[in-house]
Amino acid sequence: MISPKMQDAINEQINAETYSAYLYWSMAAYFESENLPGFARWMKVQAGEEMTHAGKFFDYVNERGGRVTLTAIEAPPTAWDSPLAAFQAAYEHETKVTAMINDLVDLARSENDHATESFLTWYVDEQVEEESSADDIVQKLTRVQDAPGGLFMLDRELGARGAGGGE
């Protein structure tokens, strides 16, 4: 059985993961409006991953005999100054999610909840990949910001995500 405190914290995480998906959908819309379909595809795939993360938390609460309580999702930003600014925001968002996951691990440890701590290990590892992936694109965008041709090459690279490469 999951404790009420852990249940509430995971319910907050479900909201945060759903917000992440909403944020990435908003970024996809921004990239579509900027005629960068590869960037948009990358964000759409990322939004799908975030909903998978929320679903895993949802199922876990139910498996532990808890109750999932969904709350309102905050509206995300809808525009950024540049593709670089959007990916910097994505990276910063992932570091925030990492801190939230770490807080959940700390709570599980303080409650001596070994099952939840074990469950969260996947998320700890996943966040390393999430931060690295966003940071990699920030670094590439930083390098090509004075070379518009590089932006379009990167757009093509990011468009391959989920199509047999780039995941």
**Which residues, 6 or more positions from 115, have their beta carbon under 8 angstroms from its beta carbon?**
64
CA distance 43 to 110: 35
Cβ-contact 71, 15 below 8 angstroms: yes
Q: Which domains does the chain have, with CATH numbers?
A: 4-159 (1.20.1260.10)
CA distance 85 to 102: 26
* pTM higher than the cut 0.75: yes
Tens of pLDDT along 90-149? 999 999 999 999 999 999 999 999 999 999 999 999 999 999 999 999 999 999 988 889
